């Protein structure tokens, strides 16, 4: 342990990051900027080739630093598992999706841990960052690593430190986001804290890996439940002729005891739509039913259907049906001003509308072509937001409120707009009929 701590303190340790996506690539940046030699591993050779050429594939991170990374003698992008043997610390940043029945899919965690175990040597630190149920680090990763015949806490070290990335948030980087860390034992916790503190401004140690795992779930369950609350209130208040957006703004003037959350077309991203179900699944193993969390999941999951129902009603009031209607969807990304479509409600809304016979077009300045997804496949490309394209649509559906969209132009030339994000509220006297959903 002391040898590894000395390497970390002198920044002569080599840090490997497994998985170079929305969590892994910013992690590479943080440790490289801190002065460490970094190995970036991914099974996707396309990513490796782009990094070697200095080409950015995550637009919200910018391009200049990727070019600089490609020219650095302290960065090695690779798809060869054997290269991980040279690392003193290995950080796992791999996906933890849900299965068909909302059960945890830990296949990426298991396979990456098995890969690390194949070259595990004395003195290495392994940190899992992927969100999962409490007990994953100790109960899933550790047994796989132990098969190497090395003892955790003396021969190698194992900890959990949940990622807290928020793609596209201005002024926020991995380095500036406070980081939790919990080890499976005291030596592992100490070494992991030292490593993270060398690259992150504030590190908060907790008593165990299980506490760190649970804290991450609580963070995202808190958001999911509160979003579900306003999603449920939205149609209730609308039936009373009350604008929920104005209600939230009014409540947010209270300086304590209230945090504003906003309704929308459904949850997206890699955390909130998925993470709560990891705890509900684990809870059942211990004989508990998490009714509150599951209810929030049901409310949020049906929001795309509510949007489609609102589109159908709005078209019907205009003397049209969904079948044969031309629908222009604004925004594919799950949140504004990024190119991330993971779990985006736009994909479900497009699929539902297309299934009802609508002719779909979309505009997203960040996503030129509908990407291949696990559940959705559409042969669509983003259309220009022109007067002609807007006027040709029977209905415009605002799913993502990108700042680069000309909402004044929409209000001037659209006939009908179904607005799920309150994006049209700033447009004065639009000619279009606006329906909030």
Same domain, 159 and 38: yes
Same domain, 20 and 152: yes
Does 245 fall in a domain? no
Determine the pLDDT at residue 5: 96
Give the residue among 155, 162, 163, 215 at the shortest CA–CA distance from 185.
Answer: 155
pTM: 0.91
Q: Is 93 a residue of the active site? A: no
How many domains does one find in the chain?
2
Going by pLDDT thresholds of 50, 70 and 90, the confidence category of residue 429 is very high
Does 280 fall in a domain? no
Q: What are the pLDDT digits (tens) for 367-418?
A: 999 998 878 889 999 999 999 999 999 999 999 999 999 999 999 999 999 9
CA distances in angstroms from 396 to 53, 330, 407, 418, 420, listed in the order given: 40, 7, 11, 6, 11
CA end-to-end span of the chain, whole Å? 57
Does 102 fall in a domain? yes
Q: Which of 211, 237, 252 is the last residue of a domain?
A: 211
Same domain, 8 and 114: yes
Does 179 fall in a domain? yes
Same domain, 198 and 347: no
In three-state secondary structure terms, 132 is coil
Q: What are the pLDDT digits (tens) for 241-282?
A: 999 999 999 999 999 999 999 999 998 887 788 888 888 889
Same domain, 52 and 182: yes
Instruction: Count Cβ atoms below 10 Å from residue 379 Cβ, excluding itself.
Output: 6
DSSP string, 65-124: HHHHHHT-TTEEEE--GGGGGG-SEEEE-----B-TTS-B--HHHHHHHHHHHHT--TT-
| Helices 244-251 + 209-239 axis angle, to 10 | 130
> What are 163's two structure tokens?
């990622």
Please tell me the number of Cα atoms within 13 Å of 311 on its side-chain side: 32
Determine the pLDDT at residue 268: 87
Q: Which of 166, 184, 211 is the last residue of a domain?
A: 211
Burial of 38 (0-12, 13-18, 19+ CB in 10 A): buried
Report the chain's mean pLDDT, rounded to a whole number.
Answer: 95
Q: Taking 90 as the threshold, does the pLDDT of residue 172 lie above it?
A: no
Domain, as residue range, for 135: 2-211
Determine the pLDDT at residue 328: 98
Q: Which of 192, 211, 230 is the last residue of a domain?
A: 211
Determine the pLDDT at residue 374: 76
Does 34 fall in a domain? yes
Does 58 fall in a domain? yes
Q: What are the pLDDT digits (tens) for 39-52?
A: 999 999 999 999 99
Which domain CATH number covers 385?
A: 3.40.50.720
Burial of 124 (0-12, 13-18, 19+ CB in 10 A): buried
Distance separating alpha carbons of residues 331 and 9, to the nearest angstrom: 46
Q: Taking 80 as the threshold, does the pLDDT of residue 171 lie above it?
A: no
Does 347 fall in a domain? yes
Give the residue among 266, 263, 291, 287 at the shortest CA–CA distance from 276.
Answer: 291
Whether the CB-CB separation of 95 and 19 falls below 8 Å is answered with yes
Same domain, 32 and 160: yes
Q: What are the pLDDT digits (tens) for 109-155?
A: 999 999 999 999 999 999 999 999 999 999 999 999 999 999 999 99
**In Å, how far from its chain's centre is CA 92?**
16
Pairing outcome for strands 125-128 and 89-92: parallel
**Residues 93, 141, 152, 271: which is the catalytic one?**
271
Q: What are the pLDDT digits (tens) for 51-83?
A: 999 998 888 788 888 999 999 999 999 999 999
Q: Taking 90 as the threshold, does the pLDDT of residue 219 lie above it?
A: yes
Instruction: Count Cβ atoms below 10 Å from residue 88 Cβ, excluding itself.
Output: 21
Q: Taking 90 as the threshold, does the pLDDT of residue 166 lie above it?
A: no
Does 282 fall in a domain? no
Determine the pLDDT at residue 99: 82
Mean pLDDT across the stretch 277-298?
90
């Amino acid at each position: 342990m002391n040898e590894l701590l000395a390497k970390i303190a002198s920044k002569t340790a080599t840090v490997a990051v497994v998985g170079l996506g929305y969590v892994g690539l910013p992690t590479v940046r943080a440790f490289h900027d801190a002065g460490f030699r970094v190995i970036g591993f991914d099974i996707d050779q396309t990513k490796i080739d782009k990094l070697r050429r200095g080409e950015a594939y995550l637009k919200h991170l910018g391009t200049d630093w990727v070019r600089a990374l490609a020219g650095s003698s302290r960065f090695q992008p690779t798809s060869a598992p054997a290269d991980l043997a040279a690392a003193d610390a290995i950080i796992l940043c791999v996906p933890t999706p849900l299965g068909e029945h909302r059960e945890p899919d830990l296949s990426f965690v298991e396979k990456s841990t098995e890969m690390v175990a194949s070259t595990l040597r004395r003195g290495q630190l392994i940190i899992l960052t992927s969100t999962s149920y409490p007990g994953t680090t100790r109960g899933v990763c550790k047994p796989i690593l132990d098969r190497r015949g090395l003892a955790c806490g003396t021969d190698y070290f194992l900890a959990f430190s949940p990622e807290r990335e928020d793609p596209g948030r201005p002024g926020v980087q991995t380095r500036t986001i406070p980081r939790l860390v919990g080890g499976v034992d005291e030596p592992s916790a100490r070494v992991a804290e030292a490593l993270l503190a060398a690259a992150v401004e504030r590190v908060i140690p907790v008593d165990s890996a299980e506490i760190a795992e649970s804290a991450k779930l609580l963070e995202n369950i808190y958001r999911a439940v509160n979003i579900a609350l306003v999603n449920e209130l939205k149609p209730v208040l609308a039936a009373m002729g009350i604008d929920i957006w104005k209600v939230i703004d009014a409540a947010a003037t209270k300086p304590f005891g209230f945090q504003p959350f906003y309704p929308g077309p459904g949850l997206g991203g890699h955390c909130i739509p998925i993470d709560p179900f990891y705890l509900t699944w684990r809870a059942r193993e211990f004989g508990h039913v998490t009714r509150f969390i599951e209810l929030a999941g049901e409310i949020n999951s049906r929001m795309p259907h509510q949007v489609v129902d609102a589109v159908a009603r709005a078209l019907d009031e205009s003397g049209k049906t969904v079948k044969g209607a031309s629908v222009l969807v604004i925004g594919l990304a799950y949140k504004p001003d990024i190119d991330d479509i993971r779990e985006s409600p736009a994909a479900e809304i497009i699929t539902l509308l297309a299934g009802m016979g609508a002719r779909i077009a979309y505009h997203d300045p960040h996503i030129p072509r509908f990407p291949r997804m696990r559940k959705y496949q559409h042969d669509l490309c983003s259309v220009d937001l022109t007067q002609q394209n807007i006027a040709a649509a029977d209905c415009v559906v605002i799913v993502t409120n990108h700042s680069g969209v000309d909402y004044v132009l929409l209000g001037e030339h659209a006939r009908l707009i179904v607005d799920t994000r309150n994006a049209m509220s700033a447009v004065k006297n639009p000619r279009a009929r606006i329906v909030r959903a």
